[in-house]
Amino acid sequence: MNQPIAQTTVEELAQRLSREESDMQLVDVREPQELAIASIDGFVNLPLSQFSQWAEEVPTRLDPHTETFVLCHHGMRSAQMCQWLISEGFTNVKNITGGIHAYSTLIDSSIPQY
């Protein structure tokens, strides 16, 4: 059975980023061509379509007990990633509701929409 995924708003993310907290991990699961259009500094890109290429590296690249925020375009792919991270033993995973689209709309209009 799938556990409910914790959600966070782009407003909360923006507050956390503005405080420059170091105790959080930021993962963007969009494709490289999407990042070329719009991105937020500080996110590690793990494209969902390339899952097989990076899945085994996740335990060494990310700390399963550090708060982890996951971003995509609208929040669907990031929800899949959150579910997978939880299944891998990650204990503090949050899906960014509305994804980069919401971030661009509500927080930073200088980030292009696509």
Extract the tokens encoding 49.
């379509």
Residues contacting residue 107 through CB under 8 Å, at least 6 positions apart? 10, 11, 13, 14
**How is 10-58 classified by DSSP, letter by letter?**
HHHHHHHHHTT-SSEEEEE-S-HHHHHH---TTPEE--GGGHHHHGGGH
What is the pLDDT at residue 22? 79
Lookup result for tokens 């061509």: 33
Distance CA 113, CA 11 (A): 17
Catalytic position from the list 5, 70, 72, 96: 72
Residues 30-53: pLDDT tens digits?
999 999 999 999 999 999 999 999
Average pLDDT of the residues in 4-25: 92
| Predicted TM-score (pTM) of this structure | 0.94
Look up the CATH architecture of domain 27-106: 3-Layer(aba) Sandwich (3.40)
pLDDT given for residue 3 in this prediction: 64
Mean pLDDT within 6-30? 94
Average pLDDT value for the chain: 95
d(CA 87, CA 3): 9
CA-atom Rg of the chain in angstroms: 13
The number of beta carbons lying within 10 Å of the beta carbon of residue 57 is 10
Res. 4 pLDDT band, cuts 50 70 90: confident
Active site residue 72: yes
